[in-house]
Amino acid sequence: MRAVFNAKTAPTRLRGALIVPALILGLAACQPQSPDGDEAAAPADAPAPTLVPPQAVAPEPPAATGPFAGDMRAVGTEPFWGLRIAATEITLERPDAPPSKAPNPGPSLDGDQAIWRTRTADGGDMMITLWEAPCSDGMSDLTYAYQARVQSGDETLSGCAGKEGAMPREGAAAR
């Protein structure tokens, strides 16, 4: 088979054959590169690049101060329950339910009370209120340094509290 030259379509074919390489070269020019293949620096007269602000980092919860500083524990009877307030998490435990965990947003102080308001992992509201006042759990001779009230959903639990490392024990005086 022999190629036939057509004078009418030759300029169109030639033009098409030149356009494709020109487009490829033009696109390659959009990303300047240094001789080693890395991205080249922008020309001195180029506008400054727009900087994207870094993502906001969640702030640490405000630390409790004064008598409410540090990790706290609270306990109650009738029904039995236990609560731990750690730096980043609050955990409520009861014998008849799985532990209920919530982030610790830090307390707000209202007079002589510290109040933590948070939302549990399952979406329920939880509010913990602690205040300095001698407290007895009603089942032992132990005296705690704080009183506690925990509102979780529609349930209100009352009990006693203390600093994590200073909870009263049988045979030891309250601290």
Per-residue pLDDT tens digits of the chain, which is 175 residues long: 555 555 565 555 555 555 655 555 555 555 556 666 677 676 777 676 666 555 555 555 555 567 888 899 999 998 899 999 999 999 999 999 999 999 999 999 999 999 999 999 999 999 999 999 999 988 888 999 999 999 998 999 999 999 988 788 776 554 4
Structure tokens at 69: 């500083």
Tell me whether residue 61 is exposed, middle or buried, using C-beta atoms within 10 angstroms of its C-beta: 0 to 12, 13 to 18, 19 or more: middle
Q: How does 62-97 read in b/e, with b if 16+ C-beta sit within 10 Å?
A: eebeeebeeebbbbbeeeebbbbbeeeebebebeee
Token pair 């702030």 in the structure block, residue: 59
